[in-house]
Structure 1
Amino acid sequence: MQKWIIDTDPGIDDVMALLVALASNIEIIAITTVAGNTTERNVYRNVIEVLRIAGKEVPIYRGSKRPLLNQLNTCHEFHGEDGINDYWKTHSDNFQDIQTEHAASAISRLSKSGDVNIICLGPLTNLAIAYLQDDTLEFASIHLMGGTINAAGNTTALSEFNIYQDPEAAYIVFDRAPHLSMIPWECTFNDDVKLKQNFLEAAKNAGPRGRFMVEICQKVNYACDAIAMMTALYPETIEESEDRHVKIELAGNYSRGHTIVHRDPRSILNPTLKKFTIVKKIHHDFFFNRFLQLLVDS
């Protein structure tokens, strides 16, 4: 059974991704939290709530409360003040606000065997710190939701939220990782993969996990992180991908946080430049059918 670390910042679509993972036949050895869509404290209690509703127990390691250099700019206009559509205004929590081993240290320790996969659904701060702490870090695979391939940003004109939130962390990860799979913004936000009413109705009737998901995504009709999770766990989700060299821009009034995809012939043919897998298109019917099946079967 595959071992996985999920680094996440729930966030409505992160919740969907967690529901996919928790219903899949994998061993989740850790969930690590990072500030991004909302504050780290909100992220932590949101993860606890997802685990409660899913009826699962997974170790949680709390991580970075801000980017390496940037100020934290949450995405409350889409995700609500608490990250999950202001869910906590009408629900009570009794979670313990504790801090044990830091997420970056846990990532480093747990990956020592070399057979652990990691997926990062938010800013890459925790993974970057882990790389800085341990230059022998090794994973079976690395997957991330973030970046753009056509300079179609959702935070600035050129930059996607997760990468723009902490460009220095992204630079470190892309520099240190020998290989990774990147699910960019354009792949996860188009008409084919929007959450349509018939899917939401079916999900609501699928059980408590589906009802919870539909409750928090009333104002959001996309599932970016769930798509990233599905491509990582079910490769048959992927319809089209390409292998390209990618660098992270750290400067520029308009380009900070931009993922530069090198498609010029010299970089494509250069064997010394490492190439990353970029998912360009998914089988959307498979995604929705499998997602719904996981909600029902779990």
Structure 2
Amino acid sequence: MIMINLKYHDEEFAVCEIEYSFLLNAKEKSKLVFFTQFLKDFNFKAIIIDLSYAEVVDEDVLNSFAQLLNSEKYIKLYHIKTLSMEIIKTFYDKSIDVITPIENISFFDTYNFNNIIYEINLFYEDYLYLRDVISEIETRYKNKNIIVSPKVNNDIDFKAYRMIIDYILKTSNNNISLNSFHLPTEIIKLHPCNVYLCTGHDCHIKKTNYPRYIEIDKNGNLHPYKIKYNQIRIGNLIDDEFDLYLVFSKYTNSIQHRQFLELNREVFKKINYLKFEIVPWRDMIEMEARRRYDKDTSSELYHK
């Protein structure tokens, strides 16, 4: 098998989200150094460690991983309430952002962190609650960056999505933003390479057409944008001895790769239906995958 020479471009800002259990597995199998080197070689700009499913966290594993990546990498921790303040301060001193769900905001009230980003995940039926929460956080944490990450699950959610986007765009506070799963429609149309709609070779900055947000679950499966369908799964690191190059060499131009690109093409055709300034691109990809792979015919938006 011919190995690929893959490296994400800086402009792609590739992100790798890793379940803590997978890191622990890599450490136990003496593969942590090997795996971490691949992350560096691939030029992932942000690393997210998801601790949400971990009952107990070995903080030595987190320390080892951070030291291997070095402080140039941008690292986030999800669900940190189980961690000691010592490890949090260690990560903070290395310019690593700490992300916490809305219910854990008070956890930091007594600490003088200036660069903590709060990520709010709510369903769109809760628009009024979300608006109140944003207002409260603005008041309590004027120096914090607030990332709003609403989730679109079905067509009905789009009605509230418009209200949320309008509210965020109209707010006077410039520390409120959406996460990278939400893209401006104008940018998508002017630069379709942002949604994998160029060959890579024709792209003005030579972007790859590999998923730029990858989740590695506890079993070593790689999912694009946390969308868990075998039809678009990138591969499995444990099966391939933690070798990221081997995983991607198998994935390149595979049916899974082509189907991922096809999902993006299909969603691109439909953004005109919404007429939004910003669209929830990742969620629309998942809805399209659900329509195709779950044989779900209930979505009006996708059957016009």
Please state which band the TM-score falls in when normalised by the shorter chain.
Answer: 0.3 to 0.5
Greater Cα radius of gyration, structure 1 or 2:
2
Q: Normalization by structure 2: what TM-score?
A: 0.34
* Greater relative contact order (Cα < 8 A, sep 6+): 1
Q: Normalization by structure 1: what TM-score?
A: 0.34
